[in-house]
Chains A and B, each alone.
Chain A
Amino acid sequence: MNAFDLTEDQQDCLQELINVAMGQASDQLARYLDTFVYLKVPKIEQVKSEQLLVTLNQDLKATAVVSQGFFGYEGIRGEALLMYQPQDSNRLADLLGYEADELTFDEQIIDLSSILTTTFLNVFASQIDNQMSYSAPRLLSPNLGAVTQHLQQQAFNWDLALKVRISYQVTDYSFNCDMVLLIPEQAIINIKTVIDRILEEF
């Protein structure tokens, strides 16, 4: 076991923090889209950089990928990737209630991604007495090369990462969106410290 590995209790605690954040982000999404969002249990896995690219490649059947960096206190930081499935692209304007010439597809998807990412991470941060800042969301080409290049340009080390996959399913519209949070090793170690403080209370 290395400093990066989570114990069963730490994993459980992180999962619960994510669950609460996911619930509030889905509530925002449901209000924004005026529909109901079906939630699944989030998947958390530790991945090495080479595995990360393989798993992302499997995930990247997407039409669009939006990336947004987040930065909190105590060295907690990472990159959120929002991935939209191909069948959703023609439905987004309907879903968002935009007129055809009101906003481009790119603008619509960036809007939606920003709501999901910031709501989720603000709730997550508040539970660990932290506060997040965000970089501007960026629309990436939905292919592994573009995503890899983008991740390699980040200022932190991706040798190890915690991949958190959250699926938002809007049942009325057969709309699916996955949020993947990539949290680098040092940030995970910092999160572990915070988690241990929470666990000490129990």
Chain B
Amino acid sequence: MSTNVLICDDSNLARKQVFRSLPESLSTDVQLAKNGQEALDILRDKKIDILFLDLTMPVIDGLGVLQALKDDNIELAVFVISADVQPEMQSRVMDLGAKAFLRKPVQLDILNENLKTHGFL
């Protein structure tokens, strides 16, 4: 059974960067969202295993998505990929249940290392 992946970022380039960094085993069922609201609509409709989530986005930002996932008891692995690298922001996302915080622009080896750490490779 394939792993369902969702990439949420308001930047088309950033979504492509994440998609192209994915290993083949995770790139067969990938959905894309341009903001937090689109991501939540997908997450409430379909079982997603991994969410790659940006933070600074219009409509609903990444923190809003993490909070909504917590409130709705939606369980999945969230990897935050953000340019907002402040230590306090990294703590906030981890407190809200993210598996890992990755700096933008995403690096293929770091992404894969994190996927491996959390049992997806």
B10 proximity list for chain A (CB < 8 A): 41
Determine whether the beta carbon of A23 is less than 8 Å from that of B12: no
Determine whether the beta carbon of A202 is less than 8 Å from that of B105: no
Known: A16-B13, A20-B104. A39 touches B56 (CB 8 A): yes
B89 interface contact, C-beta 8 A: yes
A30 proximity list for chain B (CB < 8 A): 86-88
B100 interface contact, C-beta 8 A: no
B57 proximity list for chain A (CB < 8 A): 41
Bound together, the chains give a CA A20 to CA B13 distance in angstroms of 12
A37 proximity list for chain B (CB < 8 A): 86
A15 interface contact, C-beta 8 A: yes
B14-29 Cβ-contact flags toward A at 8 Å (1 or 0): 1011001000000000
Chain A contacts to B: CB under 8 angstroms: 9, 12-13, 15-16, 19-24, 26-27, 30, 36-37, 39-41, 127, 198-199, 202
Bound together, the chains give a CA A21 to CA B89 distance in angstroms of 16
| Residue total for B at the interface (Cβ-Cβ under 8 A) | 21
Known: A40-B56, A202-B17. A23 touches B85 (CB 8 A): yes
A21 proximity list for chain B (CB < 8 A): 83
- B27–chain A nearest beta-carbon distance, Å: 15
Bound together, the chains give a CA A22 to CA B89 distance in angstroms of 14
**In the complex, which residue of chain B has the Cβ closest to the Cβ of A23?**
B83
Bound together, the chains give a CA A199 to CA B104 distance in angstroms of 16
Bound together, the chains give a CA A22 to CA B85 distance in angstroms of 10
B11 interface contact, C-beta 8 A: yes
Determine whether the beta carbon of B13 is less than 8 Å from that of A199: yes
Bound together, the chains give a CA A198 to CA B12 distance in angstroms of 13
B83 proximity list for chain A (CB < 8 A): 19-24
Q: Which of A9, A41, A127 meets B12, CB within 8 Å?
A: A9
- A16–chain B nearest beta-carbon distance, Å: 4
Determine whether the beta carbon of B13 is less than 8 Å from that of A202: yes
Known: A27-B85, A36-B88, A39-B84. A19 touches B104 (CB 8 A): yes
- B110–chain A nearest beta-carbon distance, Å: 15
For the A-B complex with A16-B11, A19-B11, A36-B89 known, give 16 more contacts whose Cβ atoms are closer than 8 Å.
Answer: A19-B56, A20-B104, A21-B83, A23-B56, A23-B83, A23-B84, A24-B83, A26-B84, A27-B87, A30-B87, A30-B88, A36-B88, A39-B56, A41-B56, A198-B13, A199-B13
A26 proximity list for chain B (CB < 8 A): 84, 86
- A171–chain B nearest beta-carbon distance, Å: 11
The 20 listed contacts between A and B (C-beta, < 8 Å) are: A9-B12, A9-B13, A12-B11, A16-B13, A16-B105, A19-B11, A20-B83, A20-B104, A20-B105, A21-B83, A22-B83, A26-B86, A30-B87, A36-B86, A41-B10, A41-B58, A198-B13, A202-B13, A202-B16, A202-B17
